[in-house]
């Protein structure tokens, strides 16, 4: 099969700050999707350490210090774009290290990027500290041209806000969904296949998904019968967080939630068009 005849593969994944670095990078390198939408990405160019520590009260996590750089090296044939939401600090023992945190998009370099949009679905860029919960959240969209199907495709993703009260509907989440939808519409043109995805941090019956489905999108995770988007590393109740939606479900050639291998506390979502 010629590469021009192959389906377009889009992957969406919350990378958990590279916590499972040893499993995640080989998987990403082997899968090498045409478009990778990655959330929870760490970028700490001031440090040459491999690992730093995130501290937020009792919430302490190892973070791959330059996760964005690591994934970029694993995908040398991709164009990489990092979209920070905030700059705070990670810790090297008791030394604080400035570190940016956000989302990233990787597009195979043979695929033309003919449009982009970057912005915020909640709050604005936080230049000094990660901020109070619910924190700033960035989003990114690309419009690409697929020669195999002679059409344009837009892919827009976000990392939805984390509310300490849980995944309940809130006015902030409704505004966030409206902003995400608006970004998708702005980067798209009539006739495009439109994809919206990300770690939304909401339940399947949420107002967020209702806003997107009322706008004409079909939600693929529950729509195709998958019962979780979390790996065994996530031990809390509520097994949904990640979603992928498309403007026309007839364009879906394959959609999967990948449970094995486990590369994060989230599962990769993989769509073929």
Please compute the mean of the pLDDT values over residues 116-125 and round it to a whole number: 98
Q: Is residue 87 scored above 60 in pLDDT?
A: yes
Return the DSSP state at 136.
P
- Closest by CA to 220, choosing from 10, 53, 74, 43, is 10
Would you say how long the chain is, in residues?
A: 273
How far separated are the first and last CA of the chain, in Å rounded? 16
Please compute the mean of the pLDDT values over residues 72-88 and round it to a whole number: 98
Tell me the chain's radius of gyration from C-alpha atoms: 18
Q: What is the pLDDT of residue 238?
A: 83
Q: What is the pLDDT of residue 253?
A: 97
Tell me the three state secondary structure of residue 126: strand
Tell me the three state secondary structure of residue 27: helix
Query: Cis before residue 134, ω within 30 degrees of 0?
Result: yes
Confidence class for position 1, pLDDT limits 50, 70, 90: very low
Enumerate domains of the chain plus CATH numbers.
7-272 (3.60.10.10)
Confidence class for position 6, pLDDT limits 50, 70, 90: confident
- Sheet with 242-246, side-by-side order of all strands: 113-122, 137-146, 151-159, 193-199, 242-246, 218-219
pLDDT, tens only, 132-146: 999 999 999 999 999
Element (H, E) at 28: helix 21-31
Please compute the mean of the pLDDT values over residues 204-227 and round it to a whole number: 98
* More confident site: 169 or 235: 169
Q: What is the pLDDT of residue 213?
A: 98
Confidence class for position 17, pLDDT limits 50, 70, 90: very high
Please compute the mean of the pLDDT values over residues 53-62 and round it to a whole number: 89
Confidence class for position 100, pLDDT limits 50, 70, 90: very high
Please compute the mean of the pLDDT values over residues 25-38 and round it to a whole number: 98
Q: Is residue 88 scored above 80 in pLDDT?
A: yes
């Amino acid at each position: 099969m010629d590469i021009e005849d192959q389906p377009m593969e889009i992957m969406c994944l919350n990378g958990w700050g590279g916590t499972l670095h040893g499993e995640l990078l080989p998987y990403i390198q082997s899968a090498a999707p045409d478009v990778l939408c990655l959330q929870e990405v760490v970028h700490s160019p001031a440090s040459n350490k491999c690992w730093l520590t995130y501290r937020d009260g009792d919430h302490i996590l190892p973070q791959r210090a330059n996760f964005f750089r690591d994934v970029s090296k694993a995908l040398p044939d991709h164009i990489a774009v990092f979209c920070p939401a905030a700059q705070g600090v990670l810790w090297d023992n008791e030394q604080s290290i400035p570190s940016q945190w956000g989302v990233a998009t990787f597009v195979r370099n043979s695929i033309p990027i003919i449009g982009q949009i970057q912005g915020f679905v909640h709050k604005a860029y936080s230049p000094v500290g990660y901020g109070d919960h619910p924190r700033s959240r960035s989003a990114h969209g690309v419009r690409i041209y697929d020669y195999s199907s002679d059409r344009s495709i837009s892919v827009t993703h976000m990392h939805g806000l984390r509310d300490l009260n849980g995944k309940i509907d809130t006015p902030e989440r409704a505004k966030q969904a409206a902003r995400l939808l608006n970004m998708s519409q702005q980067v798209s043109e009539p006739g495009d296949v439109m994809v919206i995805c990300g770690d939304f941090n909401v339940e399947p019956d949420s107002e967020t998904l209702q806003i997107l489905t009322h706008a004409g999108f079909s939600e693929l995770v529950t729509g195709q019968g998958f019962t979780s988007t979390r790996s065994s590393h996530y031990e809390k109740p509520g097994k949904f967080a990640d979603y992928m939606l498309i403007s026309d479900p007839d364009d879906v050639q394959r959609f999967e939630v990948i449970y094995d291998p486990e590369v994060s506390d989230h599962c990769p979502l993989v769509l073929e068009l």
